[in-house]
Amino acid sequence: MAEEKSRIQHSQEEEERFDVLTKTGEKTGISKPRSEVHRDGDYHRAVHVWIFAESTQELLLQRRASCKDSWPDLWDISSAGHISAGDSSLITARRELEEELGVNLPKDAFELIFVFLQECVTNDGKFINNEYNDVFLVTTIDPIPQEAFKLQESEVSAIKYIAYDEYKRLLAKEDSDYVPYDVHGQYGQLFDIIEKRYKENTVARSLALQKQLSRYAPVSLNVELTGLADSDKEALVFIVKAATVMDEIFYLQSWYSNPALRDWLKEHADTSELNKLKWSYYQINKSPWSTLDDDEAFLTTADSAIRLLTKATRTVREWKGLEYRAAFPILKPAGANFYPADMDKREFNIWNDSLAKDQQQEATSFFTVIRRHSEFILDSGLSNDKVDSSKDLYIVPYSQEYKSLLAKAADFLHKAGDITNSTRYIVLLSILSSIFSYMLNYLHCWLITHCSKCSLKKLLHSKADAFLSNDYYNSDISWMELDSKLDVTIGPYETYEDKLFGYKATFEAYIGIRDDEATAQLKLFGDNLQLLEQNLPMDNAYKSKSVNAAPIRVIQLLYNAGDVKGPQTLAFNLPNDERIVNDRGTSMVMLKNVSEAKFNQILLPIAAASIAEEQQELVDFESFFTHTICHECCHGIGPHTITLPNGQQSTVRLELQEFHSALEEAKADIVGLWALRFLISQDMLSESLLKSMYVSFLAGCFRSVRFGLEEAHGKGQALQFNWLYEKGAFVSHSEDKFSVDFSKIEGAVEGLSREILTIQAQGDKEAAGLLLQKYGVMTEPLKVALEKLENIQVPVDVAPTFPVADKILQR
């Protein structure tokens, strides 16, 4: 009896365990043996993998083995299986396909198309299946030969291909040979997706892409190089080449199959008018997701690259191997390619909490990605042993993840640094020193010191070193100290692409020629940040006593690359690294020629259509550009490093996570408006700006919201417009036009500034979420205004070309 009891206990210990979920699909933290989960009707998770042959429009089915405890001997999904406790979805999908059918595919073959909840009871009530299924589609070009499969006899007794529409018909009539799925319910999405992709109207799709493209006004940013030293012109060639590498890295950061998609679209752009349109719109968005349409996909996996695997299955004579489409999901992944595709926030947080403090800082660093040991093992073919789920995630620094690309960029920057302006003067002085040694020795040492302090040479070499070391502190200080006619910003900076946490920085590059006259005019703003900080509309306890003056540089943009997709930035305030912000503050770069292009091409037409006639003349470039300056200044003031109610030190970015970017953009905007009013009250700016800045801001609201509510600037702008409209500061009129109520605008601006600054200072994520949930939405007034602008076809943004850089790259 004791022996039998021991045998049963041992059997239960070896039985597969599942994570128990809530009815809404969230993990409870509890796991149970498989038999108990199905006995008790616990919610759990599984994967479905469908193999679809493009050329024959057929789905692969498997016949379930007769020994299966559910649906024995019936035709079913290509491959399926439960996700064991602690395991991830994509890894399970890959394993199940290999174990059941002998097909070994990389992760870019799997497209998550939807999640399906199956709730059913079989075996006379003994088997209760409440199962969330992650449904994956693998798109092959042709059917896989029968001989290529290696079937797992305990799971699969046979396989066959069947036309997808025939299979749908059999399911609809509930054919007894097939496992039932409700094709009129959730599972109908499988057939809808396939049909939409392969029975599209080419003309209609071309028109849709043309309409999307028309939202961008093409502008040529042709910059004069006449003020540039000859050595800097030579260096520019290598700097532009380094910038193109930022593009390569950003494509990969967006999604792991994105570089293959880009190359495929470029290669096939000249084969048809539709393919040309696909490539044109892809170049603007740098991914298959449209920035202006809340990241809705404008391409599908059916448009993607074809890849060939010769060893994915058993070898079949005279068959070259398995060809498949490099997949990407319909919904843009919140974590981009910074985290495993199937990692959720709960998994990350549990793992991160288990790390030592220094490792936690690395995990949430700007400059690392998170990967899975189990994926590395699967890709390497090292072992089939399962990894401890609590230790599956690991940290990879950018310098390792993008090693070959960063080495290439570093080489270009070192070459540029070797020939920049400062070297020329040092060599000249070295020659003169040998002649007038005593008099010039002192001058020689002084110039070397000061050239290295603020030179372009120092920036280029330090940034190249940072690419290889993953330590960006010194290079960012060099960037802040840059005093050069040739202005260069290059590296990982903004975190907008990481919508899961807002931790990870994307690579970008901005190259421009400094506008010395405009730069000199803006010193006022950078020099008065401490004064603005002291007077911010928030509790004094939250104010910083030492805000560094922010250098402001105005440039004419010559070239940009990397994370510059969709709407073009007018300015940027960097770095975002809180260590540097606290130690040294920030520095701002204004893109004057981009601002002028947007004002003329977009803001003036918006004002004509949306602003009440009596206030239209108040919309001017000076107000628009001045507020842009103040926006960037205000990124440098207000809360950054904060003390939480429990006394713990943290940062606004870490506490607000996915809400940080939108709220920070809203803060910079609205506090920037408050700051302009304050500087006018201090007689530092002309009173003539007072009304024009508010009306220009109102017109600018409609411009930014058109970027989409998934984009940080667009969502932040919606928050501001809706708040000010609710307070009566913005007023709607007949003919769908709006005006500013000057008697209410100041109080409403100050009130929203106080609200956002206090949320940031307290690190109150819940309050941030509620504020954005209430105000960061498409309300009726906004909808009406935006529809009007679309009907009269006012461009949403500009699509720049760069003749000078293009000429360099053609050499």
Out of 12-21, 301-310, 436-445, 792-801, which region has the weakest mean confidence (pLDDT)? 436-445
508, 629, 487, 518: which is closest to 561 by C-alpha?
508
Q: Biggest alpha carbon distance in the chain?
A: 105
Residue 569 in this model has a pLDDT that exceeds 80: yes
Q: Which residues contact 444 (CB under 8 A, 6 or more apart)?
A: 426, 429, 430, 433
pLDDT band of 125, cuts 50, 70, 90: confident
Q: Strand (E) positions, 496-579?
A: 507-514, 552-562, 571-574
pLDDT of residue 593: 96
**Chain position carrying tokens 């520019």:** 236
* Tally of CB atoms within 10 A around 30: 12
Identify the weakest region by mean pLDDT among 255-264, 343-352, 436-445, 478-487: 436-445
Q: 688 CB contacts (<8 Å, ≥6 apart)?
A: none
- Using DSSP's 3-state secondary structure scheme, residue 779 falls into coil
Q: Which tokens hold the place of 744?
A: 């209410």
Which pLDDT value is given to residue 450? 44
The one-letter amino acid at 568: Q
Residue 118's SS3 state is strand
723/720 Cα distance (integer angstroms)? 5
| pLDDT at site 50 | 98
Q: How far apart are CA 14 and CA 21, in angstroms?
A: 21
Give the mean pLDDT of 370-376.
94
Task: Tell me which range, 66-70, 252-256, 384-388, 439-443, is most confidently predicted by mean pLDDT.
Answer: 252-256
Residue 244 has pLDDT above 80, yes or no: yes
Beta carbons of 21 and 46 less than 8 angstroms apart: no
Alpha-carbon separation of residue 466 from 118, 491, 542, 616 (angstroms):
50, 9, 33, 48
DSSP at 370: E
Q: Report the alpha-carbon distance of residue 560 to residue 179 in Å, rounded.
A: 54
Q: What is the pLDDT of residue 713?
A: 87
Amino acid at 531: L
> To the nearest whole percent, how much of the chain has pLDDT over 90?
79
Provide the H-helix boundaries in 419-501: 421-435, 437-454, 456-469, 473-480
Query: How large a percentage of the chain has pLDDT more than 70?
Result: 93
Is residue 521 scored above 80 in pLDDT?
A: no
In this model, does residue 7 exceed pLDDT 80? no
Question: CA 327, 331, 332 angle in degrees (round to 5)?
Answer: 85
> Which band of pLDDT confidence, cut at 50, 70 and 90, is reported for residue 428?
very low
Q: How far is CA 352 from CA 364, 641, 647, in A?
A: 9, 20, 21
Tell me: pLDDT of 127 over 90.
no
More confident residue, 810 or 422: 810
- pLDDT level of residue 583 (50, 70, 90 thresholds): confident
